[in-house]
Amino acid sequence: MTRAPAFLEDNMLQRILSRMRQGDWLLTAAAFVLVMFGLAAIYSVALSQTETDFLNVKKQVAALAIGAALFVGATAFNYRLFKNYTIVLYI
């Protein structure tokens, strides 16, 4: 029998992959489509201007990258760790 690579045996990686499988992919895809429509609209406005530097498009792409990273981080985070601190966090 062959063993799985060492990085696949990591418990944390398995938890992240398990949560990704359980995720709401329809909602994620719908949000992605809306973001792409927004980027297309901003790009269209940038094309209509005489001085085109696409600064707003670049800003939106950077915001998309940051938001996607935060989304993946929030998905991988186990919020149940704060169960014992709910009263303190609520106040």
Residue 42 and residue 57 in contact, taking contact as beta carbons nearer than 8 Å: yes
Question: Which amino acid type is present at position 30?
Answer: A
pLDDT (tens digit per residue) in 17-42: 777 777 778 888 899 999 999 999 99
Q: For position 78, what pLDDT does the model report? A: 76
pLDDT at 91: 76
Buried b (16+ CB within 10 A) or exposed e, 60-84: beeeeeeeeeeeeeeeeeeeeeeee
Q: Provide the whole-model pTM.
A: 0.66
* Secondary structure class of 54 (helix, strand, coil): coil
Q: What is the pLDDT of residues 43-54, one digit of tens each?
A: 999 998 888 888
| Best CA proximity match to 17, nearest among 65, 76, 69, 71 | 76
When comparing pLDDT for 39 and 88, which is higher?
39
